[in-house]
Copies of this chain bind each other. A is one copy, B any other.
Amino acid sequence: MKTILSVPAAMLLTLSAAAPAQAQQAPKPEQLIKWRQSAYQVIAWNTGRVKANVDGSYNKEDAQRAANTIAAVANGGLPGLFATGTESGKGWHDTTAKPSVFSDAAGFGTANANFAKEANELARVAQGGDVAAVKAQLAALQKTCKACHDDFRNSN
């Protein structure tokens, strides 16, 4: 996170939220791209956790936590991180967003909504602890991942 102030980096998180309202500025494109790349990494982390649970020794609490995190991020407003001005550029790495994310914002929103719908269902199923049901719903979720990647993400 960049700031024009000279402060310890350890305080930046606190500072960014504690700054007076009038000092707040819209996040820079680089920051938005970092946040969206981070959000999808968190999804990958937790999708992998659910997969490890259904394929290995099933820990209900771990699977629930992972599914809840996926659902929260899926419902958390991901399309808002693809603002005008972030069509290209670098966050942690060059963006892999296709131009279609921006030219077909409605379609991208629908793809995200499909993902959120299946993520919510995964979180619901994970509450029950039926491993086969969790596995099946994970597969349903992953179809929405792939569909969105096909339409809206460049290979890199």
A142 to B14, CA, bound (A): 6
Chain B's closest residue to A51 (CB) is B17
Q: How far is the CA of A66 from the CA of B75 in the complex (A)?
A: 9
Interface assignment of A101: CB less than 8 Å from any CB of chain B: no
Q: Which partner residue on chain B sits nearest A55 by CB separation?
A: B21
> Which residues in window 65-110 of A have CB below 8 A to B?
65-66, 68-69, 71-73, 75-77, 81, 92, 96
Interface of A is mostly: helix
> How many copies are assembled?
2
Q: Name which residue of chain B comes closest to A70, CB basis.
A: B72
What are 12 A-B pairs at a CB distance below 8 A? A1-B44, A9-B96, A10-B153, A10-B155, A11-B149, A13-B40, A13-B44, A17-B50, A24-B55, A39-B45, A49-B77, A65-B72
**A residues bordering B, Cβ < 8 Å?**
1, 8-11, 13-14, 16-18, 20-21, 24, 27, 34-35, 37-52, 55-56, 62, 65-66, 68-69, 71-73, 75-77, 81, 92, 96, 138, 142, 145-146, 149-150, 153-156
